[in-house]
Structure 1
Amino acid sequence: MKSFEAYLDIKAEVKKALANNLPVVALESTIISHGMPYPDNVIMAKKVEQIIREQGAIPATIAILDGRIKVGLTDEDLETLAKSKHVVKVSRRDLASVIAMKQIGATTVASTMICAEMANIKFFVTGGIGGVHKGYESTLDVSADLEELAQTNVTVICAGAKAILDLPRTMEYLETKGVSVIGYKTKVLPAFYTRTSDIKLHLHVEKINDLAKIVLTKEHLNLKGGILVANPIPEADSIDGDYMNEIIDKAVKQSVVDHVEGKDVTPYLLKKIVEETKGKSLQANLALVYNNACIGGQLAKAYQDLKK
């Protein structure tokens, strides 16, 4: 019987790093295929990988190509993913079918966590996680990212949950599932485009080494599930919260009018927000991803240094 390893293609550089206990950081691919147009998406992806290298870690962008889980993409893989018109947005529910049917798939937070754990990669950098959507009481729309954080042993570095979400309910869900949400140099949950929110965090640290100690101790205790590191967008790139909330509320109402549902909601809303902010939100998105890559690389290295 085949095991999951039969479907994994780990790039030689990543495989060597893992074999030698060097720091490795996973990256999602939905931001490439569904986040921005070509060639901006390729430029962004390569810059994120370069930032991780500058921190002393090896990047491993994950995607599905030709029925294979690619852990670490070549330049050719990246171009294929960035240019293709029919890339499937792959969450947990889609993983088996996209692989079996040999479709091109871009991994979300949930599926990137799954594939990272398969490859024994312990850290993953993204922009923001999914969560409980506004209007939950009528749609029951909750991202699979939250359930994945509850069961998959990967530490996720993000700028909080996407600002289009119901943040209090998202945090309540994570608390119910026992997920540690740790603020890095913040005592409140960042709101993606904005550094602050009204949601206080129970855990916060000021030093990368303290984050690494928590990750390692959780591992020693054999505690199930991931850790969520909330790393605020740099102050210079933060957008006013009231301004963003007004735009987001307008976009959410329009999505209802346009009958947008399921996994189409997030890309629809993000596109509307880019239009309404005249590109300012896209620049903020890039800034926070680059910032998360920097912290993710530092954390992966600090963790490996502690294990020596």
Structure 2
Amino acid sequence: MPLNPSAPPSQEPPPAPASRRSVSHAPLLADEVREALAANRPVVALESTIIAHGLPRPRNLQVGRELEELVRKAGAVPATVAVLDGRAHVGLDGAQLERVAGDPGVRKLGHRDLAPALALGATGATTVSATAFLAALAGLRVFATGGLGGVHRAWTETQDESADLRLLARTGITVVCAGVKSILDVPATLQRLETLGVGVLGYGTQWFPGFYLSSSGEPVDWTVRTPQEVAAVMRAREELGGPPAALIVANPVPGDEQLDPAVHDRVLADALSACRRRGITGQAVTPFLLEFLMRETAGASLEANLAAVRGNVRLAARIAVAATR
């Protein structure tokens, strides 16, 4: 029986309001990326936060272009990830990259921010967690970044942990990085990764890198020495099946490009003391510490960061090439 007996039986329901109509929030792939994936050619995901929030202008745009060119020189296709006007993009054209680099209103988006950003038409640069999620959703297998987030110091008091860890625990993508940021609790982060089932490989090293430093002083259980060995591990994980989880390839910054360890330890101790004195907590801790390090090392920490990112991007491209063969 119709709910409205007076309505004609053939009457169609009224259209849904525009705000309730179905809108696709699937990532939009750049033509080059889509064609490469269809042809089983190597693609490397790149985050956009380093461009929008990690570097001063105009150097940020120069670095963004440089990283994409490093991927191309190694024989792979770059796919810088960002959200523009409520649409997730995997792969940006020149104008879009310039927008991310030049617009001061670009937001910083973690995985948890993606849904509101897409629904509300926001524009934002993606962090590790958001980039890994969108890249994997689009079918990419390799992602290059600088350093991961992790467990913060004094976790027992604040229980402050990066969203990167839980996201990587359920996202099957290979992440090439220079370890986790040295401002974090590295031993606790490695323990957490083990608990979450995230694989960790040291690339050419038996020691977990320390982001600005070649070594954090913490050992790794497995060492690989070629992109082909990483690709073999990726294949073995896929063949085994089971719950998806990321594979971390920890690639140390070269010793001659790392931040001087003595300077690093001294400045970091000062930064942590300043943070406690000022009562800085939560999400404000990391940007404060990184800014303090950059200022007090006269930019040396930034150069070490960039050296690590460049090395990670080169290696990620070589791994992507090996994995498609």
- For the superposition of Structure 1 and Structure 2, which TM-score range results when normalised by the shorter chain? over 0.9
Correspondence for 1:142: 161
Q: What letter corresponds to residue 174 of structure 2 in structure 1?
A: T
**Of the candidates 252, 265, 273, which is equivalent to residue 272 of structure 2?**
252
Aligned to 1:178: 197
Q: Provide closer, same or farther for how the CA distance between residues 2 and 219 of structure 1 changes in structure 2, counting only shifts above 3 A.
A: farther
Q: Distance in 2 between matches of 1:158 and 1:3?
A: 37
Deviation (angstroms), 1:264? 2.9
2:144 equivalent in structure 1:
125
Aligned to 1:58: 77
CA distance in 2, matches of 1:143, 1:6: 25
**What is the alpha-carbon distance in structure 1 between the residues aligned to residue 324 and residue 64 of structure 2?**
24
Task: Give the deviation of 1:81 after TM superposition.
Answer: 1.1
Q: 1:214-247 CA deviation, whole Å, 9 max, x = no partner?
A: 0111111123200000000012201232321221
Letter of the 1:291 partner, please give it.
G
> Letter of the aligned partner of 1:51 in structure 2?
L
Contact residue 42 and residue 82 of structure 1 kept, 8 A = yes
Unmatched runs of 5 consecutive residues or more in structure 2: 1-19
Identify which of structures 1 and 2 has the higher relative contact order when contacts are C-alpha pairs closer than 8 Å and 6+ apart.
1
Q: Which residue of 1 aligns with 2:323?
A: 303
Please give the TM-score of this superposition, normalised by the length of structure 2: 0.90
CA distance in 2, matches of 1:212, 1:300: 8
Q: Relative to structure 1, is the Cα distance of residues 133 and 2 closer, same or farther in structure 2, using a 3 angstrom cutoff?
A: farther
- The aligned counterpart of 2:300 is 280
1:180-259 → structure 2 map (5 Å cutoff):
180-223=199-242, 224-259=244-279
Q: 1:144 to 1:12 in 2, by over 3 A?
A: same
Give the CA RMSD over aligned residues.
Answer: 1.6
SS at match of 1:199: strand
TM-score scaled by length of structure 1: 0.95
Deviations 1:148-190 (A, max 9, x none): 1111011000001011110000000001111110000000101
User: How far apart are 1:293 and its partner, in Å?
Assistant: 0.6
- Alpha-carbon distance between aligned partners in 2 of 1:45 and 1:32, rounded to the nearest angstrom: 6
Corresponding residue for 1:18?
Answer: 37
Maintained 8 Å contact 1:63/1:70 = yes
- Matched AA of 1:202: D
Size of the aligned set, in residue pairs, is 305
**Structure 1, residues 95-124: CA drift from partner, whole Å, max 9, x if none?**
111111111111111110110011100100
